[in-house]
Amino acid sequence: MCGIFGIVTQTEQNLGPILVEAARRLTYRGYDSVGAATIKNGVIDLRKDKGRVDEVAEKYKIAEMTGQRGMIQLRWATFGVPSKENSQPHLDSEGKMVGAHNGNVVNNVELREQFMAEGMTVRSQNDGESCVHAVERYVRQGKDMVTAIRMAYDDLQGDYAFVIGLADDDKLYAIKKGSGLVVGIGEGFTCVSSDLPSILPLTRKVIRLNDGDVVTLSADEVALHAVADGSFIAREPEMITDEMSSVQKGGYAHFMLKEIHEQPAVARELLHLLKNNAELPAILGAIRNARNVYLVGCGTSYHACLMGSVYFSQLGARTTIPVLAPQFVPQYLPGANNQDVAFFVSQSGETRDVLKALDAARAVGVTCFSMANVIGSTLTRTTAAWLPLTCGYEISVPATKTFTNQVITFLYLATCLGGKDLTNLMALPELMEKTIAETDPVARELADSINPWQDCYSLGYGATYAIALEGALKLKEVTYAHCEGMLSTEFKHGPLSAVTPGFPVLFSAGKDDVDVIVSGMNEVTCREGRAIAIGAEDSRLRANATDLVTIPASDAMSTPILETIPLQLLSYYMAVGRGYDPDFPRNLSKTLTVD
């Protein structure tokens, strides 16, 4: 969801290659436009357009740009269509200041009218431009940049981060309010970015910013001030030790495939860490004693909540309520109080819908926990305790390894809550390895035969219901085909009419629910539809399915996790077969920091 990067160096130099590489490393967030600005001898060089990083970089020769300061931005359209004008960075009225943002300025339309009425030149519909004019407004009054940014902060409503610089200066400035922002400190330069992957190739010394931090970047130092009163903030940098290999493709054609293959390893790591996690007793105690337990997330993370709710019931005899985050306030908040617990689930830890639900829950005294993958994300810093998903970077927009680790975390919690044996769970990573090896070639073949269809269904029952929904979401997300996920028994209540000869319907078969699944499959096959079963070897499935994708035999609670893998692989191979890039599906963003 947009990404910004800015750098300040000691001397004028060829900053273009650094900016292009930084942009490439932010592409996982999703974008439709690219723009760069450098500042040299008091002159701003601005080049931008809609399109992919490599296209725009080549067309505008961004790699040749030079300067003592530079910034690059990837835009994901919210205010204004993807176009050259709406691309970022933006200039102020006189072309003496340049800035770019990430996030959402919700009062953008009102602000643009004010700026125009005040005589400023507004060139786009984009809210990033409003950040620049909001600062310009106070610079025109003679304020210094830090003061002007602090005053602009009061005018700009919403969640955002921006980087900005004056032509006639040698610094850049940035502020964080809601959207992620990290500072990097290197030898003879400092930089700022929405996320670490664009900083780590340059330096491992970083300062994570908090909301309300205003940062001044000079070539050899950074200074932090509080937006509220301008007071100086002392914060020590930290050294990042994560391996960079985790943000490279490592021989795979796409990050999505690499991340699917990483699942056994990250699951192993997760289980190891969960065993020694000091927060667990308190979390389990709170879940046990709570009046209501809400499991809150969006998209794939919501599907993990659905799965978690089944696990808590089956293994811990604990009823929990899975909630799509934006529904928390209208549906549950009126009845929520300090006797309740809410578990917020997110890969990024920055999803706006989730953070809004969190704020509302905290305000009425609900005890809030979270699981997230991005260390230091807002969710991890604002909940009473958080469980890391330990997946390393997940670059591909479709969530894969973070989903399985979310589900495994819930399975672990529910198993502990019910005082059950963990042996099966500990064996899961090995079964996941086997599943990948055995189902990859089958998924590849299936993909070719399903690809001519633009519609299909993904059905599950009981413990596999959430997996069917997740399979459908993954398929839609990367293939642009329509795939609806539902409870298998609901299919006969309407959607069955879609079945024509060869029409593909995927069935995720739970270990204890084979008979129900078989009956659903027969409703499809007797109308000449194609019933594709995913499940452990079973004579009933083999006899009734048109195709059977076999996964290794396992216990009933592990089966859904294993079945996720062929569904991910199927989506991946279908997308590749259609000529789409599964890592960066059109219109989507990895981190959704807007309403």
Residues forming contacts to ligand M6R in the complex (CB under 6 A) are 298-301, 346-348, 351, 354, 397-399, 473, 477, 592
Rounded distance between C-alpha atoms, residue 362 and residue 102, angstroms = 26
Residue type, 104: N
CA 355 to chain centre: 13
Among residues 2, 131, 305, 483, the one annotated as catalytic is: 2
How far is residue 95 from each of residues 45, 122, 142, 164, 257, measured CA to CA in Å? 10, 11, 17, 12, 45
**Backbone φ, ψ for residue 213 (5° rounding):** -85, 135
Q: Under 8 Å CB-to-CB from 363, ≥6 apart: which residues?
A: none
Least distance to ligand M6R from the beta carbon of 371, Å? 10
Q: In the complex with ligand M6R, which residue's Cβ is closer, 159 or 477? A: 477
Question: Which residue, 301 or 415, is less far from ligand M6R as judged by CB?
Answer: 301
CB of 189 to ligand M6R, least distance (A): 31
399 or 570: whose CB is closer to ligand M6R? 399
- From the candidates 50, 401, 476, 590, give the one annotated as an active-site residue: 590
Nearest residue to 529 (alpha-carbon basis) of 571, 497, 482, 574 = 497
Cα radius of gyration rounded to whole Å, the chain: 25
State whether residue 584 is helix, strand or coil: coil
Give me the least distance between CB of 306 and ligand M6R, in Å please.
13
Taking the complex as a whole, the smallest distance from the CB of residue 176 to ligand M6R amounts, in Å, to 18
Instruction: Work out the number of other CB atoms within 10 angstroms of the CB of residue 223.
Output: 15
390 versus 550: smaller Cβ distance to ligand M6R: 390
Residue nearest to ligand M6R (CB): 299
Q: Measuring CA to CA, which residue among 185, 239, 174 is closest to residue 213? A: 174
Strand residues in 444-570 grouped as ranges (E): 455-460, 482-487, 504-508, 530-536, 547-551
Cα end-to-end span (Å), the chain: 12
φ, ψ of residue 49 in degrees (nearest 5): -175, 170
Q: For residue 2, indicate whether it is catalytic.
A: yes
Nearer to ligand M6R, 315 or 324 (CB): 324
Question: CA 135 to CA 137: how far, in whole Å?
Answer: 5
Distance of closest approach, residue 351 Cβ to ligand M6R, in angstroms: 3
CB atoms within 10 A of CB 351: 28
Tell me whether residue 34 or residue 473 sits nearer to ligand M6R (CB atom).
Answer: 473
Classify residue 249 as exposed, middle or buried by CB count within 10 Å of its CB (0-12, 13-18, 19+).
Answer: middle
CB of 387 to ligand M6R, least distance (A): 14
User: Active-site residue 258, yes or no?
Assistant: no
Residues belonging to the active site? 2, 590
